[in-house]
Amino acid sequence: MSKKPKFQLPTGMHDILPEEQKYFQKIYDVCETIANFYGFKKIDTPILEDTALYEKGTGLTTDVVQKQMFTLRTKGGDYLTLRPEFTPGVIRSYIEHGMQTWSQPVKLYSIGPVFRYEHPQAGRYRQFHQFNLEVIGESNAVIDAEVIQIFYNILQELKLKNLVVEINSIGDNQCRPYYKKLLMNYFKSREGALCADCRRRLKENPLRILDCKEEKCQREIRQAPQIIDHLCEECHHHFRGVLEFLDEIELPYRLNPYLVRGLDYYTKTAFEIFFETSQKTENKETFSRDALVGGGRYDGLIKLLGGEDTKAVGGAMGIERVIAAMKTKEVKVQKAVNPPVFLAQLGTMAKRKSLKLLEEFRRARIQVGESFGRDSLKAQLKMADRIGAKYTLLLGQKESLEGTIIIRDMITGKQDIVKLEKAVREIEKRLKR
Ligand code: HAM
């Protein structure tokens, strides 16, 4: 058995090895192209922010703040937290840079790592990546529908099928307090049937119970009062608007009256996009689902964080989960293209000239493979074969002295000698044929 390495990955974190990069690159390309099409501009905020920003923004009663933050104390005594999500940082930046004076709405997207101290399991990491969208300064329901549509389009563009959009309205501070009271009374009478976490949630925020995945809590949730029956006039009107826009663009969705989301700032629209799979064994079919995207409207957050009263909506997509879904569906992602030319050299003078020649190829934008550290011509030719080069350039001692180079056609085996300064031109010509 091989020896365990001295240093290993921190729990719940993962390396993205070269072979995986093509998935990330593909997803980034699709996300950025679509975000640009819909008029979003890119924003990068620091990975570390004041801990208090998340306590206030994400919310003190959320699992994210209570259990999942990576918080550190700096040498200067500040408390900073590795971002567990993008939204509070983006809103801090919106306020700090006076973006309310820009043309509204301000549409921003971000891509990068986020950190949550979770119990690691399949699809649940402690460092993962999100593609995040925020539309700040717009209250119209059409924007809620557009945000959902953008994420749906991205997933479709990535060739994912079996997507399910779930949507709900969780009201606002007009109607939610009354609903919370109803829920509180309902769950209080069933407190004994709830898990320990939900008994705590009952005291802090009974809405959170609706998000619990424990089977025994699920049994109670199925009978619980639904917020949809208790929305105020404005929230009801807004929700109807969102659904009508989704109908108009023929985006399929399911109403889920118990969808509440795990973050404190949401008002009105809440949505998630799931990827569903089924597995058939001899006598049973099992279903599983993964949340790829989550989001919603958050009309109170900007004011809560010290800005003006500004309405907003957004969402985030978990990139590792999208990659896992692509893999189960065997979505092909193009491999990196191998260089069409290999440059083999022999001897010190040839090495020097090769280094210079490589630069000329780079300027001409022709990819060239090489292995300058190797001295054996046989090993270099083997490598040229392995990468599937169309042409190999051979530069030995003799050619270096004569100012020439050999071009070998790797398919026919035919070799020609050309002047070194004509090598790039000649290869350009041959590749065009
Ligand atoms: P969220 O639902 O917490 O929303 O996260 C969005 C997505 O990130 C999830 O649907 C999932 O795909 C992925 N994700 C979450 N936790 C993990 C994990 N531990 N490992 C792997 N993937 C994970 C937000 O973060 C909100 N800030 C979205 C938003 C933006 N709402 C408004 N604007």
pLDDT in tens, 368-387: 999 999 889 999 999 999 99
Q: How far is the CA of 253 from the centre of ligand 1 (A)?
A: 19
**Does ligand 1 have an atom closer than 6 angstroms to the CB of 116?**
yes
179-206 tens-digit pLDDT:
999 999 999 999 999 999 999 989 888 9
Instruction: Report the alpha-carbon distance of residue 424 to residue 421 in Å, rounded.
Output: 7
- Decide whether any atom of ligand 1 lies within 6 Å of the 57 Cβ: no
Instruction: Give yes or no for residue 111 CB within 6 A of ligand 1.
Output: no
Residue 91's SS3 state is helix
Pick from 359, 357, 356, 366: nearest CA to 390: 366
| Cα–Cα dist 369/46, whole Å | 37
Q: Are 249 and 290 in a shared domain?
A: yes
Distance 293 CA to ligand 1 centre (A): 6
Please say if the pLDDT value at position 291 is more than 60: yes
For the CA of 293, the nearest atom of ligand 1: 10
Same domain, 118 and 38: yes
Q: What is the mean pLDDT of residues 108-122?
A: 95
Same domain, 274 and 300: yes
196 burial via Cβ count (<10 Å: 0-12, 13-18, 19+): exposed
| 326 alpha carbon – ligand 1 mean position (Å) | 18
- pLDDT tens for each residue of 314-369: 999 999 999 999 998 777 887 778 899 999 999 999 999 999 999 999 999 999 99
Task: Provide DSSP, 269-334.
Answer: EEEEEEEEEEEE-SS-EEEEEEEEEEEEE-TTHHHHTTS-S--EEEEEEEHHHHHHHHHHTT---P
184 is a domain residue: no
pLDDT at res. 59? 94
Say how many Å lie between the CA of residue 41 and the centre of ligand 1.
Answer: 20
Q: How far is the CA of 39 from the centre of ligand 1 (A)?
A: 22
For ligand 1, whether the C-beta of 320 sits within 6 Å is: yes
Q: What is the mean pLDDT of residues 57-62?
A: 92
The reported pLDDT for the residue numbered 173 is 93
Q: Which pLDDT score, from 0 to 100, does residue 399 have?
A: 96
* pLDDT number for residue 281: 75
Q: For the sheet containing 285-297, what is the strand order?
A: 41-42, 106-115, 127-136, 312-318, 285-297, 267-280, 163-169, 254-255
pLDDT digits (tens, 9 = 90+) for 140-168: 999 999 999 999 999 999 999 999 999 99
Distance in angstroms (rounded) separating the CA atoms of residues 326 and 162: 11
The closest-lying atom of ligand 1 relative to the alpha carbon of residue 58 is: 27
307 within domain boundaries: yes
Is the predicted pLDDT of residue 284 greater than 90, yes or no?
no
Q: How far is CA 141 from the centre of its chain?
A: 25
Q: Are residues 243 and 314 in the same domain?
A: yes
The residue-averaged pLDDT of 200-217 equals 90
Which amino acid type is present at position 186? Y
- For residues 302 and 279, state if they share a domain: yes
Residue 323 is predicted with a pLDDT of: 97
Q: Find the domain containing 355 and state its range.
A: 341-432
Lowest mean pLDDT among 16-25, 283-292, 420-429: 283-292
Write the residue with the smallest CA distance to atom 29 of ligand 1. Answer: 315
Q: Please identify, among 304, 328, 352, the residue that sits at the C-terminal boundary of a domain.
A: 328
Indicate whether residue 130 lines ligand 1 (CB < 6 A): yes
Tokens of 184: 């509180």
- Given 273, 295, 328, which residue is the final one in a domain? 328
- Of the chain, the percentage scoring pLDDT greater than 70 comes to 100
Q: What is the DSSP-derived secondary structure letter of residue 2?
A: P
Q: Are residues 394 and 257 both part of a single domain?
A: no
Binding site membership of 190 for ligand 1 (Cβ less than 6 Å): no
| Whether residue 258 is found in the same domain as residue 126 | yes
Residue 65 lies in a domain: yes
Give the model's confidence band at 400: pLDDT under 50 very low, under 70 low, under 90 confident, else very high. Answer: very high
pTM assigned to the model: 0.90
In this predicted structure, the answer to whether residue 1 has a pLDDT above a threshold of 70 is no
- At residue 28, does pLDDT exceed 70? yes
Last residue of a domain, one of 305, 328, 351: 328
Which CATH number covers residue 390?
3.40.50.800
Alpha helices for 189-232 (secondary structure H): 196-204, 215-221
CATH of the domain at 55: 3.30.930.10
pLDDT of residue 287: 84
| Ligand 1 touching residue 13 (CB < 6 A) | no
Average pLDDT over all residues of the chain = 95
Among protein residues, the one with the nearest Cα to ligand 1's atom 11 is: 318
pLDDT of residue 68 exceeding 70: yes
Integer Cα distance of 347 and 281 in angstroms:
62
Give the distance (Å) from ligand 1 centre to CA of residue 34: 19
Residue 134 beta carbon below 6 angstroms from any ligand 1 atom: yes
